[in-house]
Amino acid sequence: MNRHSKKKYAIAITGSIGSGKSTVAKKIADLGYQVIDADKIGHNLLNRPDIKDKLIQHFGGVIITNCLVDRKKLGSIVFEDQDKLQLLNQIVHCQIIEKIKKKIHDFKNFKTFRSNELIFFEVPLLFEVGIASLFDITVNVSCPKEKRINRLVDRDSLDKESIELRIDKQLPDQFKEEMADITIQNDCSLDCLYSKMLIVLKFLKYLTRNKCLK
């Protein structure tokens, strides 16, 4: 490796529903970095013929609207039944993981990305699915539960009972904070959150120059 070359890092951004992880990911993208949304990969996969057929087989034609998988209808089914949620994960997540692996491989082996040193993946269920090891560094965005609930009520027009049900399906914040390499506490204003994010970004850029990690 040329002594002037920089280490490349694949960074996972995660956090519980309503934590602000998407806000952090969008701000990083606005700064010119490549940010790949694992949920979007999954959404695109839902209507791939083989996966769509499996979903209809297991969850019924009720999940189809205008010949496409209706994510809201599918979500209302799986979030009320842990077994069905696990089944959905089995059908879709292995495909998402393969696509993430390929993107990381291409990033580290080819100069085809906007940022040559850092690439970010927004992965909501990073620890739930058990794929943290795919990434060089994991960043968790954490937010008090009550604040998350209030934000989701305003954002998604869901009732508190539905929101708490979805939160309970995910691992607790404390676990994610212990597992993540870095945690950003989203317990202040938006400007404060951005300031914390910029500090983390500065540290990550420092790592690329100094090759602190193997």
In a domain, 22, yes or no: yes
Q: Which residue has the tokens 């209808």?
A: 73
In a domain, 210, yes or no: no
In a domain, 213, yes or no: no
What is the pTM for the complete model shown?
A: 0.86
In a domain, 82, yes or no: yes
Q: CATH number, domain at 45?
A: 3.40.50.300
CA distance 32 to 28: 7
In a domain, 87, yes or no: yes
- The set of residues, in sequence order, having a beta carbon less than 8 Å from that of 97 and lying 6+ positions away, is 129, 131, 134
Assign residue 119 a region (left: φ > 0; alpha: ψ between -120 and 50; beta: otherwise): beta
Q: How would residue 141 be classed by pLDDT, with cut points 50, 70 and 90?
A: very high
In a domain, 211, yes or no: no
- Domain holding 152, by residue range, is 9-205
Give me the number of domains the chain comprises: 1
pLDDT at residue 3, as a whole number? 42
How many CB atoms are closer than 10 A to CB 186? 25
Q: How would residue 116 be classed by pLDDT, with cut points 50, 70 and 90?
A: low
In a domain, 2, yes or no: no
- The set of residues, in sequence order, having a beta carbon less than 8 Å from that of 91 and lying 6+ positions away, is 51, 54, 55, 58
pLDDT in tens, 1-57: 344 457 899 999 999 999 999 999 999 999 999 999 999 999 899 989 999 999 999
In a domain, 214, yes or no: no
